[in-house]
Structure 1
């Protein structure tokens, strides 16, 4: 099994001879960079000048000491993003506005310098080497037309490794995306999970069978059911990438073992915390992902709470890397809703619904009428084949919360199946359970 190329990348960035990288060298580097980041933020950021006023960077000599620092929340950025900027506006190369799923109002704004974006390109360059190499032809199904967009940075990274990028953009017409892959002889695809799934499950998806060797899914949580469906359809290997705009787009990527993500530890420091108490959890325990930027100059973030749920994987990766591995993210802290005594999650819905042949996407809402809960599931299907409604009901019964409440006659499941795209199904909007009940339980 091939070791992830990120090991050599981090060796180069930390000044360690290739092949001799160890955990203690990475952690020593991270502690130095954490102190540097705190110093920069206290001097240049109005937000951290106040929140870290009592913190002496020189006294952060251990990760335990660092874990006592306050968290940064998405709402903090949303309220006044300029308070986080540590550099002159003249040096800001790109500004990204983020609207949270299912909300309205002022979006978060994230600022990047040219140097910040170069860090991301460098990570993409080595991260993509897990699945493609020189001369491979990569169809990029991500936004790319704006300079500095994720697809544009990926294009630059692929060119550096002498691969052939094919910028296309998010899929709005599935058949046209398939034809583009055929026309340009793509043998690798990078895209949004549900959009790549729609290509694999399209009536012309067979045109790519045996021609695609690797797929990288990004921008959203990736259910195992989607990965399996794509792999079985095209006889390829599916890799997962973890990243968000706030962390500079790239956070981690799977290696040839395709277990957890190997993390971008040279630019980011990750923690897993108890989302309720804020306590840092031991390795292996499930909790909320928190990160701190280590090399960002434009808008450093310290102990930023992502809302994503994962855990660190104990032991050494089968590929032999010394980098930390984090379990593939399947959901969010806010992604669970209570049905009776149990929770229902987006992750559970993903696994049972995407396992059904011809399901491309779904929407889910919970409402209450006359003392009974109603679960409304709107299924988007491929336009050339039908889905038996009973199959969907049977699949939903595999979820404990649904089965328990249906048996006790406290829940009615209403399924609607059509081939019409609904709002958000063609973009990067995250799937969520919309709870319209007056009395709700949020976990």
Structure 2
């Protein structure tokens, strides 16, 4: 069976494979990882109790905090001598989360990355410009090995050095771009500033974007700025890295279910939600050796769909990640995700998708201000036009998100640009307690 055909496996055959792999994984972690054995016993469940895929919900959740508490290798299911690669998070909010890979795990990772690239029919004729960060972050190496396995020419550009990246993209004839959506937009801005003709000087035909939530408006802006197919590549280090899911030509974010079982739960109660309801994505790995994850709570907010996709793939699909539960702002009782603000902004003419949300406190009430860069063409239209634009944005935010937010229009290119994940929130509320 070719790798692409794995995306079209008959549903009954897929579910039988999932159940077999789930039983094997549960058996392994119960006997090899003391943490899981204890969690299973506390939940009153044993490996022999898993008789159907529906029994998955009987198993306990795993969280990022569990990884931190067992830092560095406490959740590994193999001895360290079998681990051939170690990655970790930055650890900016505490101990870093550490993930390990056996040789088998790296083969699986390469496989799912190949299937990701096949969403845009990447092949040996392509030149892949990889602007994801290399190093402990899983993004760079994940995309690198997937593209190499397809025989494509890979340019390991990593992050930063925007002008040099553009030079290499033009001179090497890059056809595929891999980076965060915010950096892709930044690249197009700088390309115009430097006098490039994007359609004539570059040969890009598709891009693989991930590592941060992106609204439909931002995705459209990136695709149109480069004139390319936008492929969303979803993943997280704790599961495998990029390669957990990717969007087909119809925009459905297909999960590679033969390796990962997705669920959507109510983040408050932990109850599994029915298809079509929004909640927190939970993932169980089926083929990982070094660091199997049982019902890992991703904190990512999405909706799961099981109806057939127009592309013909039998894989379940999820909607583009709306945001992280950790990033959700609660402003005077209203829940707001940065990506929702972003989507409103991108539908209004006269501003760019570059913005920052500033949350402050005035007395007992939360106060929200959105700083948005205006389009350069608006600078010649006078103060009255800008004031009308500001009011229009405030009305749109109120009508769409039910929040009273002040809008502050700032000059083009004044908000900080990110070479990786964009920082969209400045929360000053705790400073003013």
Is the TM-score greater than 0.5? Answer: yes
**How far does residue 269 in structure 1 lie from its aligned partner after superposition?**
0.9
CA distance in 2, matches of 1:186, 1:389: 42
Q: CA RMSD in A?
A: 3.0
Q: Helix, strand or coil: the match of 2:182?
A: helix
Q: Helix, strand or coil: the match of 2:298?
A: strand
Are the counterparts in 1 of residues 87 and 136 from structure 2 also a CA contact under 8 Å?
no
* Aligned equivalent of 1:179: 167
**How far does residue 328 in structure 1 lie from its aligned partner after superposition?**
1.2
**Alignment TM-score, normalising by the size of structure 2:** 0.86
- Given candidates 380, 393, 396, the residue that maps to 1:395 is 393
CA distance in 1, matches of 2:162, 2:351: 14
- Given candidates 152, 155, 159, the residue that maps to 1:163 is 152
Are the counterparts in 2 of residues 78 and 108 from structure 1 also a CA contact under 8 Å?
yes
Q: Helix, strand or coil: the match of 2:370?
A: strand
Kindly provide the CA deviation profile for residues 293-314 of structure 1, in whole angstroms up to 9, marking residues without a partner as x: 1111101110000001111124
* Aligned equivalent of 2:308: 316
* Aligned equivalent of 2:88: 97
CA distance in 2, matches of 1:396, 1:245: 37
Given the alignment of the two structures, is residue 419 of structure 1 paired with residue 416 of structure 2, yes or no?
no
Are the counterparts in 1 of residues 280 and 302 from structure 2 also a CA contact under 8 Å?
yes
Q: Helix, strand or coil: the match of 1:127?
A: helix
- Given candidates 192, 196, 201, the residue that maps to 2:180 is 192
**How far does residue 206 in structure 1 lie from its aligned partner after superposition?**
4.8
CA distance in 2, matches of 1:117, 1:47: 24
* Aligned equivalent of 1:14: none
Kindly provide the CA deviation profile for residues 223-253 of structure 1, in whole angstroms up to 9, marking residues without a partner as x: 2112211222222211111111111012101
1:205-216 matches, cutoff 5 A:
206-209=196-199, 211-216=203-208
CA distance in 2, matches of 1:147, 1:139: 19
Kindly provide the CA deviation profile for residues 357-394 of structure 1, in whole angstroms up to 9, marking residues without a partner as x: 66364332211124553324345689999695763553
Kindly provide the CA deviation profile for residues 114-161 of structure 1, in whole angstroms up to 9, marking residues without a partner as x: 2212211111112201212220111111123x4994323422322222
CA distance in 2, matches of 1:295, 1:430: 34
* Aligned equivalent of 2:214: 222
Range with greater deviation from structure 2 (396-405 or 60-69): 396-405
**How far does residue 208 in structure 1 lie from its aligned partner after superposition?**
2.8
Given the alignment of the two structures, is residue 143 of structure 1 paired with residue 141 of structure 2, yes or no?
no
Q: Helix, strand or coil: the match of 1:397?
A: helix
Given the alignment of the two structures, is residue 85 of structure 1 paired with residue 80 of structure 2, yes or no?
no
- Given candidates 328, 338, 341, the residue that maps to 1:336 is 328
Distance change (3 Å), C-alpha of 1:431 and 1:248 = farther
Uncovered stretches (5+) of structure 2, i.e. residues with no partner: 381-385
CA distance in 1, matches of 2:149, 2:367: 53
More helix by share: 2
Are the counterparts in 2 of residues 272 and 311 from structure 1 also a CA contact under 8 Å?
yes
CA distance in 2, matches of 1:79, 1:330: 28
Uncovered stretches (5+) of structure 1, i.e. residues with no partner: 11-18
1:36-435 matches, cutoff 5 A:
36-53=24-41, 54-81=44-71, 82-99=73-90, 104-131=93-120, 132-144=122-134, 146=135, 149-170=138-159, 172-202=160-190, 203=192, 204=194, 206-209=196-199, 211-249=203-241, 250-257=243-250, 259-340=251-332, 342-355=334-347, 359=352, 361-379=354-372, 391=389, 394-400=392-398, 406=404, 412-414=406-408, 416-417=410-411, 419-420=413-414, 422=416, 425-428=418-421, 431-432=424-425, 434=427
**Alignment TM-score, normalising by the size of structure 1:** 0.84
Q: Helix, strand or coil: the match of 2:301?
A: strand
Distance change (3 Å), C-alpha of 1:396 and 1:96 = farther
CA distance in 2, matches of 1:393, 1:174: 34
Are the counterparts in 1 of residues 331 and 367 from structure 2 also a CA contact under 8 Å?
no
Q: Helix, strand or coil: the match of 1:209?
A: helix
CA distance in 1, matches of 2:51, 2:224: 49
CA distance in 2, matches of 1:246, 1:403: 32
CA distance in 2, matches of 1:57, 1:361: 50
